[in-house]
Copies of this chain bind each other. A is one copy, B any other.
Amino acid sequence: MALLVEKTTSGREYKVKDMSQADFGRLEIELAEVEMPGLMSCRAEFGPSQPFKGAKITGSLHMTIQTAVLIETLTALGAEVRWCSCNIFSTQDHAAAAIARDSAAVFAWKGETLQEYWWCTERALDWGPGGGPDLIVDDGGDATLLIHEGVKAEEEYKKSGTLPDPASTDNAEFQIVLTIIRDGLKTDPTKYKKMKERLVGVSEETTTGVKRLYQMQANGTLLFPAINVNDSVTKSKFDNLYGCRHSLPDGLMRATDVMIAGKVAVVCGYGDVGKGCAAAMKQAGARVIVTEIDPICALQALMEGFQVLTLEDVVSDADIFVTTTGNKDIIMVSHMKKMKNNAIVCNIGHFDNEIDMLGLESCPGVKRITIKPQTDRWVFSETNRGIIVLAEGRLMNLGCATGHPSFVMSCSFTNQVIAQLELWKEKSTGKYEKKVYVLPKHLDEKVAALHLGKLGAKLTKLSKDQADYINVPVEGPYKPPNYRY
């Protein structure tokens, strides 16, 4: 795909797979709206006052149908938006087309190369001469990373005239990032500096991105305020847990049609994502074995009836392997060689380095047979046994299915909208410093409350007397900050 920016008749830029899918995308967006009461409530509550009037928002987040509803909520509140995906396989092309045609500048398609991926990220950040963005919606932190690396390189360049050297790293993806920055430096050596100066803040979606932000905060290198959306209860305890509980079996079934009942599934990691995955596999009739480093999470797994062992203990016996750790080097090629024929290996937790894809690709004599996109059988020459790797080791629920369903994403994305509103409202007050913040509990509770009606729930109301007895306001928040839910 030639990397040329296209324009709609109204002059808005985009690059998507197939604009003819826009109508299909629109139909699915309309379905999703019914399932996303939090976002629709935001439109109803804030739309009239246009709070984002004048705000330029860049998003780097899986360009799915659900994200389309988020984008159109931002635009309904007055924002101008440019968007890219944060994963090469996660774009739904019909969603991208509908948004590109109707609402925002989109640069995303399913099956980008890494080169294309970073080109899209650059485009989403490129607001032209007037500058921008004012705000970033980030997922995994790649947009934030690019700016931080850009600023670092510009400062070094200014100081020493040194350009970043892609050959300085082994990491293929980071080579691309450095190349982009290097090439950019030649034409505008203050591009990222201007960007960070304009930026009001970022709201970050995921555990992984948040971890990066806290590290930068700790190192004193964070360049702008950040709101940690991931740790809203209505995000991490919903999207991570219930979203994965839904989308892991969905991805497995779409990719392989395999019967889950009766199989042995190994879930590596028992955090929120792992809890959702283990529950899903158990419910589908699999026998689940958990691997963990953390004794508390391990004990939780045991209390739910899961066996806790190491990967080495079970690698030859299990049928399905899922990584959810947020760490790297979890399933190595040495493990894969010991697996049963047609064992399924996938990752739902993090980047593709949870699974040793590099080791697999470079394994002598290995043969890759693509069953269909995102479903590959890798056959080892020594044994003639194959394993099935989903989504090339990347997030299998987005690569092989459609990611989390609308309802749970409505919780996450309502947090995003509220975080963006908060950053924008306080842009000149100095309330937010170059630190990482979480949303206050009453907003978290509000997000939940917006989703109850759709499910027919009725809340009990505290009496004043009862509220006093447990020392909370009648209207909440009802729990101390550290409450674990």
- Which residues of A line the B interface, CB within 8 A? 24, 27-28, 31-32, 34-35, 65, 211, 214-215, 231, 233-234, 236-238, 241-242, 245-246, 249-250, 253-254, 256-264, 272, 282-288, 291-300, 302-311, 313, 317, 326-329, 341-342, 369, 371-372, 377, 388, 401-402, 404-408, 411, 444-446, 448-449, 451-452, 455-463, 465-466, 469-471, 476, 478-482, 484-485
Query: Which residues of chain B come closer than 8 Å to A481, judged between CB atoms?
Result: 482
**What are 21 contact pairs spanning A and B, CB under 8 A?**
A24-B372, A31-B342, A241-B303, A253-B401, A259-B404, A259-B408, A262-B455, A264-B456, A272-B484, A285-B304, A288-B305, A294-B445, A296-B444, A296-B448, A299-B457, A300-B485, A308-B455, A310-B458, A311-B460, A327-B462, A484-B484
Q: How far is the CA of A470 from the CA of B212 in the complex (A)?
A: 9
Query: Which residues of chain B come closer than 8 Å to A32, judged between CB atoms?
Result: 257
Determine if B303 and A238 form an interchain contact, defined as CB atoms under 8 angstroms apart: yes
Chain A residues touching B, majority SS: mixed
Task: Tell me whether A302 and B34 are in contact in the complex, defined as CB-CB below 8 angstroms, given that A27-B369, A246-B260 are known contacts.
Answer: no
**Copies assembled:** 4
Determine if A327 and B466 form an interchain contact, defined as CB atoms under 8 angstroms apart: yes
Which B-chain residue is minimally distant from A480 (CB atoms)?
B214
Task: Tell me whether A342 and B34 are in contact in the complex, defined as CB-CB below 8 angstroms, given that A308-B457, A310-B458, A463-B329 are known contacts.
Answer: yes
The residue in A254, A299, A405 that gathers the most chain B C-beta atoms within 10 A of its C-beta is A299
Which B-chain residue is minimally distant from A403 (CB atoms)?
B257
Determine if A308 and B485 form an interchain contact, defined as CB atoms under 8 angstroms apart: no
Return A133 CB to nearest CB of chain B, in Å: 28
Q: How far is the CA of A211 from the CA of B472 in the complex (A)?
A: 11
Query: Which residues of chain B come closer than 8 Å to A457, judged between CB atoms?
Result: 298-299, 302, 307-309
Query: Which residues of chain B come closer than 8 Å to A250, judged between CB atoms?
Result: 249-250, 253-254
Query: Which residues of chain B come closer than 8 Å to A299, judged between CB atoms?
Result: 234, 238, 262, 411, 448, 451-452, 455, 457
Determine if B261 and A303 form an interchain contact, defined as CB atoms under 8 angstroms apart: yes
Contact partner, A407, options B262, B458, B469, Cβ 8 Å: B262
Q: How far is the CA of A395 from the CA of B152 in the complex (A)?
A: 58
Contact partner, A460, options B264, B310, B407, B451, Cβ 8 Å: B310
Query: Which residues of chain B come closer than 8 Å to A449, judged between CB atoms?
Result: 295
Determine if A460 and B259 form an interchain contact, defined as CB atoms under 8 angstroms apart: no
Query: Which residues of chain B come closer than 8 Å to A456, judged between CB atoms?
Result: 264, 307, 317
Query: Which residues of chain B come closer than 8 Å to A257, judged between CB atoms?
Result: 28, 32, 65, 402, 405-406
Q: How far is the CA of A156 from the CA of B254 in the complex (A)?
A: 50
